[in-house]
Structure 1
Amino acid sequence: MNRETFGAIDIGSNAIRLLIDYVEAYEDGRTEYKKAAFVRVPIRLGDDVFLRGRISNGKAEALCDAMQGFSALSRAFAVKDYRAYATSAMREAENGSEVVSLIRNRSGISVEIISGEAEAGTIFAAGGLRETLDPAKTYLYVDVGGGSTEIVVYARRRKVDACSFRLGTVRIFSRAEEPAEWERFGRWLEQIDEKWHPSGIIGSGGNINKVHKMLEKKSRECIRAKELTSLYARLRDMSVEERMEQLYLNQSRAEVIVPALKIFTEVLRICRIDTVCVPRMGLADGIIHQLYRQYNPFA
């Protein structure tokens, strides 16, 4: 067995995450990804960016503090290599490049601000879907983040279309989304439904992962549309405090889970889809897989 350690940092609009994985390759060709460490810090960069267009000094300092901690953890775990990607909030912040420079100076970590399409592609690179995808059917890969939603259309196990929308959980919770973006979202989905007739959703993001757990689904068990819409109606009628007290959600999750469910229910409704499968893979998982393949191209 050969073991290598890789790290991934996901700087999102709602939270930032560090994932460190041991990747073990066996002589029989098997490769296993085992979580060594995972840290999530809900800094909520989107609170600043989607309302004021820039990252405040306070949140920039908090981000740098967290990244210094991530750097120390990566050294402690003897990480062979890492990548740090920033998504929607950093893309839109007028001082995003300044904050990236500040992070590099403070922590030594180089951050790359990636596009929505690159974000979706990296998440899909995590794999784990081959058992889920029926080659005869079309699926929508829907990743709901804090600032944006990425949708990729897969037919015959290959990407045939993709689009990124400025509709995310923090943006919606902050009431910073634009009605025109919802209209663009709806029109694009209608066109996709007419052309490709998708039969299922592959759901990605912390909120749909949480919903999968809340509904007590087994590892590869899909969520039915009526289950998701029923949960959405229930949570929408509760206050943030009630969600925290009755469902044991932390404040950050209690605030953004309803906007996430709104997006998923709209996709289900417009495309007349009945199931959401949740592989529980995210951007950080995709980064780890990309790194491993970079160092082991024939694996």
Structure 2
Amino acid sequence: MINIKKFAAIDIGSNAMRLLVTNIVEQKDKQTQFNKSALVRVPIRLGQDAFTLGSISQENIDRMLDALKAFKLLMKVHKVEQYKVCATSALREAQNAKEIVAFIKEEADIKIDIIDGKMEAAIIAASDLKQFINSEKTYLYVDVGGGSTEFSLFVEGKIIVSKSFKNGTVRLLNNMVDDAVWEEIEKWIKTVTADYEGIALIGSGGNINKLFKLSEKNQDSPLSYVYLSTQYQLLNAMSYEQRISELALNPDRADVIIPAIRIYLNAMKWSGARQIYVPKIGLSDGIVKAMYYGRI
């Protein structure tokens, strides 16, 4: 006898908004399964407004409202029982964030929770990583977003420390990350990984997922530092238009993928990692699990 529940998570990020619908399969004396049922991504780059103008433009507020109304209808069709909406870096920093949250609540009856970097890192790290983590090894989990990057160190299968930095792809595109931020990240990574050897990275985020797909590797196979470095040079040598036409990258992916790889490469270099595993998980997956286990 099995029991199936449907939960959903909406992630309002700096580069895009995502709706994840998950089937939660419960069976007596068996581990609960979390199976993705649907994933919808809408490229509304809120971070471009928040980081450069200080607030979200009316045009993007309207687009956000339309997307959330569409997501709500999709959840109704999927018969979702419970859902949660979390916003990250862009809304954290937008001066008109409170007004936007109130507007969305009034117009769509949708409650948005703006989570801080520490909470974001904790939710992401709580995603199901068992098939990728060997309890005898050490991993640095790196989730690259548009406005921030979250790092978590796993030792013997447990999170030892997590930290969020204001360094993301949209910020980098707009030259908003100075050397001091890079130096802070380097110091933090080197400090927390100093006592461990044989570290591997676990990468999450749309850009590393796309890069992994282009590699045509099996899901449980890691990407190497050499491969990432080679792809970084290759993509840098191509024009924005070539990345779209020759690699079939979406327009909103073709620019941010380069700064994303830069972050992963630096994380590998500073931690001494030579491999990066790429499970298809992220903040949305973590939100669903956190809801199910009553953590948020």
TM-score by length of 2: 0.95
Q: Which moved more, 1:226-235 or 1:116-125?
A: 116-125
Deviation by residue 1:75-128 (Cα, 9 ceiling, x = unmatched) = 22221111110001111111111111111111111110111121121122221x
TM-fit CA distance, 1:193: 3.2
TM-fit CA distance, 1:268: 1.1
Equivalent in the alignment of 1:114: 115
Equivalent in the alignment of 2:39: 38
Equivalent in the alignment of 1:188: 188
TM-fit CA distance, 1:27: 3.6
Deviation by residue 1:38-87 (Cα, 9 ceiling, x = unmatched) = 21110000111111111111111110111111112222222111111000
Q: Return 5+ residue gaps in structure 1 as ranges.
A: none
2:77 is the counterpart of 1:61:
no
Equivalent in the alignment of 1:25: 26
Is the 1:197–1:271 Cα contact (8 Å) retained in structure 2?
A: no
What is the aligned residue count? 294
Once the two structures are superposed, the pairs formed by residues 145-224 of structure 1 within 5 Å of their partners are: 145-197=145-197, 199-224=199-224
- State the one-letter code of the partner of 2:88: T
- State the one-letter code of the partner of 2:135: P
Is the 1:144–1:168 Cα contact (8 Å) retained in structure 2?
A: yes
CA distance in 2, matches of 1:21, 1:194: 38
Runs of 4+ in structure 1 displaced over 3 angstroms? 195-198
Provide closer, same or farther for how the CA distance between residues 192 and 198 of structure 1 changes in structure 2, counting only shifts above 3 A. Answer: farther
CA distance in 2, matches of 1:108, 1:217: 43
Is the 2:14–2:45 Cα contact (8 Å) retained in structure 1?
A: yes
CA distance in 2, matches of 1:234, 1:250: 17
Q: What's the secondary structure of 1:73's corresponding residue?
A: helix
Identical-pair percentage:
40
Is the 2:142–2:202 Cα contact (8 Å) retained in structure 1?
A: yes
Q: Which moved more, 1:30-39 or 1:233-242?
A: 30-39
TM-fit CA distance, 1:28: 4.8
Is the 1:140–1:198 Cα contact (8 Å) retained in structure 2?
A: no
Equivalent in the alignment of 2:254: 254
2:244 is the counterpart of 1:244:
yes
CA distance in 1, matches of 2:193, 2:292: 36
CA distance in 2, matches of 1:30, 1:188: 35
Q: What's the secondary structure of 1:132's corresponding residue?
A: coil
TM-fit CA distance, 1:173: 1.3
What RMSD over aligned residues (CA atoms) do the two structures have, in Å? 1.5
TM-fit CA distance, 1:197: 4.2
Equivalent in the alignment of 2:285: 285
Once the two structures are superposed, the pairs formed by residues 119-158 of structure 1 within 5 Å of their partners are: 119-127=120-128, 129-158=129-158
CA distance in 2, matches of 1:4, 1:40: 22
- State the one-letter code of the partner of 2:127: A
Q: Return 5+ residue gaps in structure 2 as ranges.
A: none
- State the one-letter code of the partner of 2:237: D
CA distance in 2, matches of 1:58, 1:278: 34
Equivalent in the alignment of 2:52: 51
Is the 1:144–1:260 Cα contact (8 Å) retained in structure 2?
A: yes
Q: Which moved more, 1:23-32 or 1:105-114?
A: 23-32
CA distance in 1, matches of 2:261, 2:111: 33
- State the one-letter code of the partner of 2:176: A
Q: What's the secondary structure of 2:249's corresponding residue?
A: coil
